[in-house]
Amino acid sequence: MQNRADDLPRRRRLPAVLAGLGFLAILAVALVGAAGRIRSIPPEPAVAMTQIGPVDAADPAPAPARFTSVAVRLQKNQTLNQALFSLRLAAAEVNEVVEALRGHFPFRKARPGDQLRLERTAEGDLHRFTYRQGAADEWVVERLPDGTLESAKRPVELTTEVARVAVTIESSLYESLARAEEDPGLAVLAADVLAWDVDFYQDVRSGDRMRILVEKVYADGKLLRYGEVLAAEYDGVATGRKRLFRYTDATGQTSYFDDDGVSARRGFLKSPLKYAHITSSFGRRRHPVLGYTRAHEGVDYGAPTGTPIWAVGEGAVRQAGWKGGCGKAVVLKHRNGLETIYCHLSRVAVSAGKQVSQKQIIGYVGSTGLSTGPHLHFAVKSGGRYVNPLQLKVPRDSPLPASALPDFREKTAPLRAQLAGPVALN
Ligand SMILES: [Zn+2]
């Protein structure tokens, strides 16, 4: 009962958010543009003098106060004190600001590029000092009426909007998203949602198309991070069309479902390798899609050392550690009677006897044992015999109950429409 009550507001909020999406997106673009201009600090001149009006327009100040503002960025190998002096603060003022920050500000985390801004009154008194790091962290030191300086971490306003990202894949998912000016981290999020249907190491072909509806979280108008993936569609030569929607049911459980309201989940994931951002000896510009080979009772996945390996299904760890020619290895026993075997790991991340959940990272690709280069040897056993992992047919977990389908259709209809994108006129 508790859960249901807690979930009511969340469920009510969703349709309202979705209804406003169309014009909200347009509005957001305008706002982001404007905010971006106001907030940006010229990168080149280290010191810029500008006259600015009252900072808080809502503040009913009786007389229009005028402040002088100076902004700098923390330079490489520069201490905070040195940066404060470059803002033309007197030694006593520097001490005052540093003392005010003490206890609030993580001095050790100061990084080159952080923005420092100083505002003085027309009389030349220190009015406000602002230290900004990244999009979401800002500390403010202000002069109180009694003359003392007070510092606080300012909460930065976060806004969330839903964006549609559509790409045609040329070489890798990463590159395609980078070309669409999205953060490649989105590839990891999307691959995670589609992990039961698409093996992003093996199934990706040039010309495949992908569409994603994803929340973007903005801090003061700048993209801070991605939120939830609300819908994802992969349409590929090797995969066919797979489309999933995020849906929270009446019991408050959130999961992904296909068009017919059938859970995205299956007993096994499509791939034993988690799609991850890999910086490797293969070079940073190219994501290594190295293919696989059918080999001695299993499949060899060529992948750089350190690529995370996840449990394809929930199960118990039967073995974790050295296993002859298999090198460092993990063997899992699953409830459906199948066993999965992962060989040549550089590192094992679980121990024998423990339970693992699906998608849990159990180790990392390496080249231990009888191996000529970094790869994962993946094998599946059924009743003690090896079976071909690529031919496993693993059913989806369960459909929504028929009684939930009207709600599912209603909630996902706007996602469906937005995922489809603008209708072509010709
Ligand atoms: Zn092998």
The alpha carbon of 298 and the centre of ligand 1 are apart by a number of angstroms equal to: 6
Q: What is the reported pLDDT for 295? A: 54
Are the C-beta atoms of residues 289 and 302 closer than 8 Å to each other? Answer: no
The alpha carbon of 299 and the centre of ligand 1 are apart by a number of angstroms equal to: 6
Per-residue pLDDT of the chain (426 residues; tens, 9 = 90+): 333 333 333 333 333 333 443 333 333 333 333 333 333 333 333 333 333 333 344 444 445 567 888 888 999 888 999 999 989 889 999 999 999 999 889 888 899 999 999 999 888 889 999 999 887 788 999 999 888 899 988 877 888 999 999 999 987 888 888 888 898 789 889 999 999 999 888 888 999 999 999 999 998 778 888 999 999 999 999 999 999 999 998 888 899 999 999 999 999 999 999 987 654 333 333 333 344 555 567 888 888 899 999 999 999 999 999 999 899 999 999 988 899 999 999 999 999 999 999 999 999 999 999 888 899 999 999 988 999 888 888 888 888 999 999 999 999 999 999 998 876 554
The alpha carbon of 300 and the centre of ligand 1 are apart by a number of angstroms equal to: 5
Are the C-beta atoms of residues 176 and 166 closer than 8 Å to each other? Answer: no
Q: What is the reported pLDDT for 29? A: 34
Global confidence as pTM = 0.66
The alpha carbon of 38 and the centre of ligand 1 are apart by a number of angstroms equal to: 57
The alpha carbon of 295 and the centre of ligand 1 are apart by a number of angstroms equal to: 6
The alpha carbon of 271 and the centre of ligand 1 are apart by a number of angstroms equal to: 15
The alpha carbon of 388 and the centre of ligand 1 are apart by a number of angstroms equal to: 13
The alpha carbon of 384 and the centre of ligand 1 are apart by a number of angstroms equal to: 18
Are the C-beta atoms of residues 411 and 14 closer than 8 Å to each other? Answer: yes
Tallying the residues shown for the chain, one arrives at 426
Q: Calculate the CA dihedral of residues 92, 96, 99, 104 and round it to 10 degrees.
A: -150
The alpha carbon of 377 and the centre of ligand 1 are apart by a number of angstroms equal to: 4
Q: What is the reported pLDDT for 175? A: 84
Are the C-beta atoms of residues 265 and 359 closer than 8 Å to each other? Answer: no
Q: What is the reported pLDDT for 419? A: 93
The alpha carbon of 297 and the centre of ligand 1 are apart by a number of angstroms equal to: 8
Which one, of 260, 246, 97, 85, lies nearest residue 162 by Cα? 246
The alpha carbon of 296 and the centre of ligand 1 are apart by a number of angstroms equal to: 6
How far, in Å, are 17, 60, 136, 160 from residue 220 at the CA level?
Answer: 19, 23, 8, 11
Q: What is the reported pLDDT for 19? A: 40
Task: Quote the tokens at residue 368.
Answer: 């231990």
The alpha carbon of 363 and the centre of ligand 1 are apart by a number of angstroms equal to: 16
Output the DSSP codes for 321-365: EE-GGG-EEEEEEETTSEEEEEEEEEEE---TT-EE-TT-EEEEE
Residue 186's φ and ψ, nearest 5 degrees, are -65, -30
